[in-house]
Structure 1
């Protein structure tokens, strides 16, 4: 035990020494180079090939430092709790609430289950209008109402406790609506699986639809999530994860940006820092894609069929594993407190891991 602890301390010292050496050396070079480059017309004995070589090596060192910084922030396979969801089927979608509670829905019946901050069932919303329906995906509107997709009937419903029945149909021409999310402006985003589109629209207090816009050209869009920059991300079955701006313009894809190969991307979520987390049903893992740096494996084992995922601003990741009808809670970040105005910087905060 002592040898392991001593070796661990030495590794930390080596890393600190290495980073400090890079900092001091680069600062000294900068202090010498800037006055010379500003006052002289030539480059002295420095050749073009040396400049090119320095540029390439600097780029690689910067990438390595980004990766080191990211790896220091995150954890892998740190399961803190498993929550059994009421019902016999699997759970495919969930929504974290600011009070620590969790809404869960899926194939476990015509219900949406509300779990309290300790993971215990506290309420069940019965999914019934003219008849029973099975909610496929779930999101929370800006007014605090629950919105769901019903892929069987091809509609979107919003729960209204003051109405009877309490589920109000949202107008719109939906073709196999699957994933649903709400962006930073309050618009509802719906992924239409067979149509290969994402429909964005606003809903007023009378549940009337306004400002409908569409994105097309997707291949089997499944899950969708809003991103902190005002845009959104969409997972494509057996394909990729596409990124869009708040004006619904395609910004790129995860596979191209990070040179990552997906099996079958499913649930996706973005944390307050803008890191994107993606579950892969085929590979049975969850990967985090940071704003800069290489992808990081957050969950590499213990999953059967990961579907919907969501995360809290306290460094917790919630996974709806439809393979064993469990919600699995992981601690994926070292310091869970986020400072919204200063990305990548965090302070200490009390952990809000639900108690078993």
Structure 2
């Protein structure tokens, strides 16, 4: 592909499961002006759950089976942005997020694979699926994996939550060994109630967006020490209602989606990681339910 077909570094990408009359869409957002443009609409994007970028600039989108049909992993090749299927069905039950490893292999987290959820590794060329790690199923109900990211050292970080009767019973951040699939709990409980977004900053700290954290269930962002598991608050309350997807910009700023903020419209926030100050970057319009966010890295 021609170099000019790639999106500029810093461009923000959002997937929306219900945009354009519930058809679903992938948007690009200018990081300076907040201006948005739809890259792809409808097709298999209804029910989109997560978004990631491959090394060549192609966009990956995971899709939940309920909207409609089976779970699907889509690729939007750079420059054309047409939807092609990488893989579907198989071990997919309810794909919730997607990430890319350094060697190009794709990871998809699924909340119900094997009964209590799993991280599934996908071959980017063949679409072959292999379970890397299953949730341990501990608890009643067991915490289910909902989001994931890949740390700079290759470790896979997964956020898990369990709900029954509308109450959050347990939540945790789990580190998965990328070779063995062995699982280690990094942190649990504390301010975590409904963790639903995860990323790793330049210093190795784990950042978690939680839809119901803190007194009053206003939601916010929690920083987790990767060694001790200690939790500290980055941002809470303010205009947040139910923070969801989370990504980091090159300067360390946080990008967070919230579909209940500002009178219930899809909103993209930028948050200062040092002060917790919130800025509305883009909101409303064609946005309906923003479920994933990613940032185009420098080439």
TM-score for both structures, normalised by structure 2: 0.70
Per-residue displacement from partner, 1:292-339 (whole Å, max 9, x unpaired)?
56322111332211111111136xxxxxxxxxxxxxxxxxxxxxx9xx
CA-CA distance at 1:264 after TM superposition: 0.6
Q: Give the total of aligned pairs.
A: 236
* Structure 2 counterpart of 1:170: 132
Residue 261 to residue 298, structure 1, CA distance change in 2 (3 Å): closer
- Deviating above 6 A after TM superposition, structure 1's stretches of 4 or more consecutive aligned residues are none
Aligned with residue 120 of structure 2, among 146, 153, 157: 157
Q: Is the aligned partner of 1:198 residue 2:173?
A: yes
Give the SS at the match of 2:95. Answer: coil
Distance 1:214 1:246 in 2: 7
Of the three residues 188, 211, 215, the one matched with 1:216 is 188
Are 2:128 and 1:148 aligned?
no
2:297 matches 1:313: yes
Residue 134 (structure 1) shift: 3.1
Cα distance, 1:278–1:183 mapped onto 2, change above 3 Å: same
Q: State the match for 2:78 in structure 1.
A: 117
Secondary structure of the 1:149 match is strand
Is contact 2:157-2:174 (8 Å) kept?
yes
Check the 8 A contact 1:127/1:135 in 2, yes or no: no
Q: How does 1:343-354 map to 2 (within 5 A)?
A: none
Q: What is the rounded CA distance, in whole Å, between the counterparts of 1:180 and 1:98 in structure 2?
A: 18
The whole-number CA distance in structure 2 between the counterparts of 1:96 and 1:161 is 12
SS of 1:287's equivalent in the other structure is strand
Q: CA deviation at 1:79?
A: 1.3
Relative to its length, the structure with more strand (as a share) is: 2
Distance change (3 Å), C-alpha of 1:94 and 1:209:
same
SS in 2 for 1:121: coil
1:231–1:267 CA distance, 2 compared to 1 (3 A): same
Superposed CA RMSD in Å reads 2.7
Partner Cα distance (1:307, 1:248) in 2: 30
User: In the alignment, which residue of structure 2 is the partner of 1:234?
Assistant: 208
Alpha carbons of 1:211 and 1:305: their partners in 2 closer, same or farther (altered >3 Å)?
closer
Residues 136-174 of structure 1, C-alpha deviations (whole Å, 9 max, x = no match)? 1111123221111111231221113698x8211123415
Contact 1:223/1:267 (8 A) holds in 2 = yes
Paired position in structure 2 for 1:97: 54
Rounded Cα–Cα distance in structure 2 between residues aligned with 1:306 and 1:126: 23
Alignment partner, residue 286 of structure 1: 268
Residue number among 268, 276, 280 corresponding to 2:246 in the alignment: 268
Cα distance change, pair 229–90 in 1 and its aligned pair in 2 (3 A): same
Whether contact under 8 Å (1:231, 1:247) holds in the other structure is no
For the residues of structure 2 that align with 1:226 and 1:246, how far apart are their CA atoms? 9
The reply on whether 1:295 has 2:255 as its aligned counterpart is: no
Aligned to 1:186: 154
Q: State the 1:265 CA deviation.
A: 0.4
Using the size of structure 1 for normalisation, the TM-score is 0.60
Which of the pair has more CA radius of gyration? 1
Distance (whole Å) between structure 2 residues aligned to residue 178 and residue 128 of structure 1:
18
CA distance in 2, matches of 1:247, 1:103: 31
Shift of the alpha carbon at 1:91? 0.9
Match of 1:255 in 2: 235
- Structure 2 distance, partners of 1:85, 1:225, is 28
